[in-house]
Amino acid sequence: MNGGRLSRCRHTDKLNYLVTGTDTGAGKTFVTSGLVRFSRSGGIDTVGMKPVCTGDNLDVQQLLEACDRCEPEFLINPVWYRTPVAPYTASIIEERQIDLDALWKAFTHLAQRHAHVLVEGAGGIAVPIRADYDYRDLARDLQLEVVVVAANRLGVLNHVRLTEEAIRAAALRCRVIVLNTVEPDSDISQTTNQSVLESLIDVPVLSVEHGQTEFSSLAKLLWEESRKEELGIRK
């Protein structure tokens, strides 16, 4: 991870987010696409993008459908590898280095045209995009605050605490932890994880149920913060 990198994007008063996970399969696409769809239905012009996709591109298709395909696919997903592994690994296997300029330019275009952009990562916050560049660097370059999606199951306390510490150590702001019920009634910890996390970390923790389509609590937290930013009353 490269320290001290200057931001690649011009400063904007708009508040955009990186949606990362504690692991693959935590439900980033479900939360991102659900939040985009819900926000747009309420008149908030929000789009999602997946800078780097690997394997099938079903995640990208869900993001496109959530915004009614208001932007071309090459902007929502500027880099796609067919090999279903981490981005950096896929670039090695397919012998094609990830074009960071393409990621920055696609984001800048979307950010100029829409009120908010949700940038969906791949796996967790430290997943490498290049050997010396991961999603913490991308968040810094694009001036993104971070939304963490975690699967609500046994083990999530450790996963969330490690992820939140990595975000804080990178001088990024973790805006909210979203506990996503990937598998209903998987274990008894689902009933206690939220309250325990709230006692351990100084970050809001929200729960999302399996198949949920109503994201008012998450939308209110994220977009009301944006309005506070505009008024200059951020804490």
Per-residue pLDDT of the chain (235 residues; tens, 9 = 90+): 554 343 555 545 679 999 999 999 999 999 999 999 999 999 999 999 999 999 999 999 999 999 999 999 999 999 999 999 999 999 999 999 999 999 999 999 999 999 999 999 999 999 999 999 999 999 999 999 999 999 999 999 999 999 999 999 999 999 999 999 998 887 999 999 999 999 999 999 999 999 899 999 999 999 886 655 544 544 4
Contact partners, residue 165, CB within 8 Å, separation at least 6? none
CA geometry: angle 121, 125, 128, nearest 5 deg: 80
In angstroms, rounded to a whole number, what is the distance separating the alpha carbons of residues 155 and 26? 12
pLDDT of residue 186: 77
Annotated active-site residue 50? The verdict is yes
Closest CA to 50 of 38, 65, 40: 65
pTM of the model: 0.91
Closest CA to 163 of 6, 3, 26, 47: 26
CATH class, 17-231 region: alpha beta
Hey, where are the domains in the chain?
17-231
According to DSSP, the β-strands at 128-130 and 133-134 are antiparallel
Closest CA to 223 of 10, 39, 27, 30: 39
Q: Which of 14, 28, 50, 228 is catalytic?
A: 50
